[in-house]
Amino acid sequence: MRARWALVALGALLAAWPWLAPRYFVFLASLILVNAVVALGLNLLSGYTNQLSFGHAGFLAIGAYTAALLTLHAPAVPVVATLAAAGALTAVVGLAFGVPCLRLSGLYLAMATLAFGFVITEAILNLDGLTRGADGLRVPVARLGGWALATDTARYYLVAGVTVLLVAAAANLARTRTGRALLAIRESEIAAQASGVPVARYKTIAFGVSAFYTGVAGGLFAFIVGFLSPDAFDVFMSVDFVVMIIVGGLGSVPGSIVGAAVVTVLHDSLAGFQNYRPLIFGVILVACMLFMPGGIAGFGARLARR
């Protein structure tokens, strides 16, 4: 009962935010929601099927550039279709990558994703006839019907709408057969296989869905940020996403959102202390693994049990 009231309050805050907050914080809220979608996608892969990825910035880049280029060359396409296309293309790349990687175990897979993330940004950099390479690409304004999403507020509502949909889908996943299979794989891959769960198929699905989520987030990211360059989608951005799900809690939907919020706000408020930022993030990671391995979600669950 309390949970339902909390959700309603949260929803109201979400809807009213642009009227309450100054312009920059509206942008920041959009960024938090976009990162939450990426964290959800990453959690699907890493939290559920234990395939840790250090290359998700690459997926984000594919989604971002796809959305930007589509809007640039085919402005008549409505923004929702553009986002879906960004997600779909990223999912295809994710599957193309995920399938051969099925037989790689944890450590090798992690390093392979790191390599993959780099190869993606290099490809974007080298396709400079299309992407403008190292000089960067200005993202045109998104259009919903005849209406141009030219303000931070308009873009915020687009982001919020898409995010709510994707979060609901992820939350419902746990109740479906796919969700149960993923949970089983997370607990023990061998046991799941022995119980008849087609592990390879579900790991592949996880890869694809994770990439889809991140691709859609990439499209949203492009619209709210307004300018893209491949060198920003580096391994440190991928590490930021990993920090989000570790801090939030592996395999937890609310954890992904909380983790994304914490990391995004911390990242922004430490902008004046950029020399200390990686130090703080590194210490947070170490402390989290040593003292709070379930992340904030795990901590919250323990509190709730008392």
Give the binding site for another protein (CB under 8 A): 6, 13, 20-25, 27, 50, 52, 100-101, 103-108, 110-112, 114-116, 118-119, 122, 125-126, 133-136, 138, 190, 225-229, 231-232, 239, 242, 246, 268, 271-272, 274-286, 289-290, 293
Please tell me the distance from the alpha carbon of residue 246 to that of residue 260, in angstroms, as a whole number.
Answer: 10
Please tell me the distance from the alpha carbon of residue 244 to that of residue 294, in angstroms, as a whole number.
Answer: 12
Q: Cβ closer to another protein: 215 or 230?
A: 230
Q: Cβ closer to another protein: 271 or 304?
A: 271
Please tell me the distance from the alpha carbon of residue 121 to that of residue 195, in angstroms, as a whole number.
Answer: 40
107 burial (CB, 10 Å; 0-12 / 13-18 / 19+) is exposed
Q: Cβ closer to another protein: 202 or 221?
A: 221
Cβ 118 to another protein, closest distance in Å? Answer: 5
Q: Which one-letter amino acid corresponds to residue 128?
A: D
What is the largest distance, in Å, between two alpha-carbon atoms of the chain?
Answer: 59
Q: Cβ closer to another protein: 202 or 240?
A: 240
Cβ 38 to another protein, closest distance in Å? Answer: 16
Cβ 8 to another protein, closest distance in Å? Answer: 13
Cβ 195 to another protein, closest distance in Å? Answer: 14
Cβ 152 to another protein, closest distance in Å? Answer: 9
Please tell me the distance from the alpha carbon of residue 231 to that of residue 57, in angstroms, as a whole number.
Answer: 11
Q: Cβ closer to another protein: 153 or 178?
A: 153
Our separate counts of H helices and E strands in the chain read 15, 4
- Crossing angle between the packed helical segments 79-101 and 199-225, to the nearest 10 degrees: 140
